[in-house]
Amino acid sequence: MQARLALRQDSTALDEARPLWFSLIDMPEPCSVLMDRLVAEKRLDNDDVWTRLRRLLEARKLKQAKQVARYLPPGQEPSAKLLDAIADKPARHVARLPANFAATRLGREMALFAIQRMAASDPAATAVLWQDIENRLSPAERSYGWGQLAWQASLHHLSEALAWYERAAQASPLTLSDEQLAWKVRAALRARNWETVGKTIEQMPPQLAAEPVWVYWRGRAYAAAGRQEEAQALFARIGGRPNFYSNLADEELGRVIAVPGKATAPTVEELAAAAMNPGLRRALALMRFDVRIEGVREWNWTVRGMEDRELLAAAELARSHDVFDRAISTADRTQAQHDYGLRYLAPFREYVDPKARELALDSGWIYGLMRQESRFVANAKSSVGAKGLMQLMPATAKWVAKKIGLHDYRAAKVAEMNTNVTLGTHYLKLVLDSLDNHPVLASAAYNAGPSRARRWRAEQPLEGAIYAETIPFTETRDYVKKVMSNSTYYAALFEEKPQSLKSRLGTVRAKGGDVTAEELP
């Protein structure tokens, strides 16, 4: 866009840039040149600047918020010191609000920032304080405040969430962010309020509403309202793909989850062509010398635009070199000819199956989890220090080793395959036993901790899919869905018969009990 402005004085570039001001949270530093131009040409006013400031503060992007604040007129912008102080101690800011704080836009916005930051920790307590000051604000500002409280209440699974969304709408017409709309739907799901589920998804921007998650839940809402034909059309729109909501949509259409017919194996000529491909050869060489990041990038660049037959040959080449993660990701790319034995590789069964039998664990679930954790990179190490196939944290590995009496254990052994699988499967068993023997809860616990998985349950039994969808942590929510969908396909491969994801998800019982869950790391 900068080039168009510089070379052709193409002002339509500014027309295209303006929506980015409102939609992009993480805006690269070079974009500031374009944003400066938008401000200079008065295509952004003070209200627009405050709108972006609010979004950045909601996203805890304090550094970026300070940069955006400079677009406000002198004397009307929050100082970096003030923003830091409110972010650090929002309750103190609210407690010290002067009687005339609402006389300026800056005073009102900083009060809203403090309320938003407090609500992230304790929405219920914040709502009490909020009601003491809201009447000094404009209807639009009161609407924003209630919208923030409602969003945070949804994340905390508070029953007041939907009522607070309603108060936001009553105060003034409110444009909810994508995140607020998503959590309004999730709050309605936990409340089993299918009417609100359907209406809220209908209010979403088209691009958001078209995501499979919201297509599925809109279909469920229509089905609950007796609009079966419309529901079936929505399920059909997203069905037929190997992912969580496609699986659930297929089951709503009466289809079982089965492994598609296997494509003809790559020919000798196709395998030879893959083996001689310069990019694939470079990638394998890099990974052979443990230059993994660059090797993965080289591989991914090389397989761009390959046809199905080339992809299958490349995936088989990766498998033959024990580069299991590239085999899986490459087989995942095929459009018409598939090999689910490559998509859902199951290496190291000589280590996994004996432990699964010993501990009465579902092999499909173990593999579904390992596929998500490490993609079978045996020496995988995460940024936070988790190691091996089952991505065990050092403290957890040490605790499990002591728990099961692994007397010769030392920290370095967690990277050994047999030890890693032994400790990982035992931990899975301990978590599963402490959480109703429910794989959805146990999967959430494996990623985010048993106490959180327990806390995220509701006051009444929840459909497993609703529990998964309303997990507050984005990473864990995505993780649980993928693990459960993975495990369904592994079970279909291992048992050689169709499966039901819905049955695997089951029902998550209401809160209560599970004292031992708090004792697990």
Same domain membership, residue 356 and residue 329: no
Same domain membership, residue 425 and residue 283: no
| Those residues with Cβ within 8 angstroms of residue 406's Cβ, 6 or more apart along the chain or in another chain | 400, 419, 422, 423
Place of tokens 């952004």: 44
pLDDT in tens, the chain (521 residues): 888 888 877 878 899 999 999 888 888 888 888 888 899 889 999 999 999 999 999 999 999 999 999 999 999 999 999 999 999 999 999 999 999 999 999 999 999 999 999 999 999 999 999 999 999 999 999 999 999 999 999 999 999 999 999 999 999 888 899 999 999 999 999 999 999 999 999 999 999 999 999 999 999 999 999 999 999 999 999 999 999 999 999 999 999 999 999 999 999 999 999 999 999 999 999 999 999 999 999 999 999 999 999 999 999 999 999 999 999 999 999 999 999 999 999 999 999 999 999 999 999 999 999 999 999 999 999 988 999 999 999 999 999 999 999 988 998 999 899 999 999 999 999 999 999 999 999 999 999 999 999 999 999 999 999 999 999 999 999 999 999 999 999 999 999 999 999 999 999 999 976 554 447 88
Burial of 446 (0-12, 13-18, 19+ CB in 10 A): buried
Number of domains in the chain: 3
Range of 209's domain? Answer: 176-233
Residue 494 lies in a domain: yes
Residue 158 lies in a domain: no
Same domain membership, residue 374 and residue 306: no
Backbone phi and psi for residue 508, each to the nearest 5 degrees, phi listed first = -95, 120
Residue 302 lies in a domain: yes
Residue 476 lies in a domain: yes
Residue 22 lies in a domain: no
Burial of 332 (0-12, 13-18, 19+ CB in 10 A): middle
Same domain membership, residue 334 and residue 285: yes
Same domain membership, residue 434 and residue 376: yes
Residue 154 structure tokens: 């949804």
Residue 418 lies in a domain: yes
Residue 278 lies in a domain: yes
Same domain membership, residue 448 and residue 412: yes
Query: CATH number for the domain including 297?
Result: 1.10.1240
The pTM (predicted TM-score) of the whole model is 0.93
Same domain membership, residue 291 and residue 317: yes
For 483-505, the DSSP string reads: HHHHHHHHHHHHHTS-B-HHHHH
Comparing CA positions, the residue from 308, 305, 314 lying closest to residue 334 is 308
